Homo-oligomer: A and B are copies of this chain.
Amino acid sequence: MNIDMIRAAAGRIAGKARRTPLLSSPFLDEIAGRRVFVKAECLQHTGSFKFRGAYAAISAIPEATRAAGILAYSSGNHAQGVALAAKMHGVSSVIVMPSDAPALKLANTAAYGAEVVTYDRDKESREEIGSALAEDRGLTLVRPYDEPEVIAGQGTTGLEIAEDAAALGISRADVMVCCGGGGLTSGIALALEAEAPGLRVRPAEPEGFDDVTRSLEAHEVQTNDRLSGSICDAIVTPAPGKLTFPILDRLAGPGLVVSDEEALRAVALAFQRLKIVVEPGGAVALAAALFRPDAFEGDAVFAVTTGGNIDAATFARALETLT
């Protein structure tokens, strides 16, 4: 992994991925006690940053191989990113999803053009199903984060942050990133190291699922005790990745952990002050920027709102925190 791969990915996704805006509001600045700049990746195609990595990875596969189709395992944002990116390349995709995934996610993934293959979480192995499909049809697997070209694609977000920070005249600040397996966080870390070395990445995680924060403290991979029960489901993974953790260990600042309630308040404030729709897991970085003022130095902080795929009922629940 290096900055050249990220620059190459930026060239491939140019005009395909959206250059998402950097948003701010004096009301949020007041809450945080400093200027807060929000990189709104929830406005990316398919509603999350995952499209960047999916497109970058698929575009890096040799054409003859790619033509046979793409494979992914995911019940969430990665599924939709891969489905749309494959469609834009004119190739088929198969997404292996648990049969008990929310109907809307299954339907959305199919609507982006993927063939959805469901499996029984309790009785079947998605890896076995996927391997059989891959072998039969010659599909290429695109992993959600522990995949160099995926990390490169997510890192393009960091190139844009570096560019926008320079335009604002900001050379020193922390950049909070909602962190699951660490693909986005490590990609941004590498981009900033090269393009804006005074900006430092820091992971944000939900309470009880703080594997990356603990791993950074211990300088070795720590795991989560459980994988369900968080409202921030989009960013819950077993542990930081084999490729992503060494990058984070070298470049990231300390992690910050926020409660579900704080994530919901950040969702509501993003609604009220920025006019964007953010899912709880995509709001933990903003929550940390707003509600942990003592964790930062300097007069500016960046936060990446990584996704906006939230159902109406959960969003309504978040809005209740405004009253």
Contact = CB atoms under 8 A, between A and B. Distances in A.
B323 A319 contact: no
A167 B15 CA distance: 9
Nearest to A42: B275
Nearest to A317: B316
A323 B312 CA distance: 9
A312 B268 CA distance: 9
Interface string A290-323: 0000000000000000001000100110011011
Given A271-B277, A308-B275, A43 B23 contact: yes
B308 A319 contact: no
Contacts of A271: 277, 312, 315
A26 B312 CA distance: 20
A274 B42 CA distance: 9
Contact of A111 (B26, B272, B275, B315): B26
A-side interface mostly: helix
Interface residues of A, number: 33
A20 interface: yes
A40 B84 CA distance: 22
Query: Chain copies in the assembly?
Result: 2
A226 interface: no
A54 to B, nearest CB: 15
A26 B26 CA distance: 34
Contacts of A108: 27
Nearest to A168: B15
A47 interface: yes
Contact of A21 (B20, B167, B315, B319): B20
Nearest to A273: B47
Given A21-B18, A315-B271, A276 B43 contact: yes
A112 interface: yes
Nearest to A309: B275
Nearest to A271: B277
From A19, A112, A308, name the one whose CB has the most chain B CB atoms within 10 angstroms.
A308
A105 B219 CA distance: 49
29 contacts: A18-B23, A19-B21, A20-B21, A21-B43, A23-B43, A26-B84, A26-B111, A27-B108, A27-B111, A40-B43, A42-B275, A43-B275, A47-B275, A268-B312, A271-B312, A271-B315, A272-B312, A275-B276, A275-B277, A275-B278, A275-B308, A276-B276, A312-B319, A312-B320, A312-B322, A312-B323, A315-B319, A316-B316, A316-B319
Given A42-B275, A312-B323, 13 more contacts: A18-B23, A20-B21, A23-B43, A27-B108, A40-B43, A43-B275, A268-B312, A271-B277, A271-B312, A275-B278, A277-B277, A312-B320, A316-B319
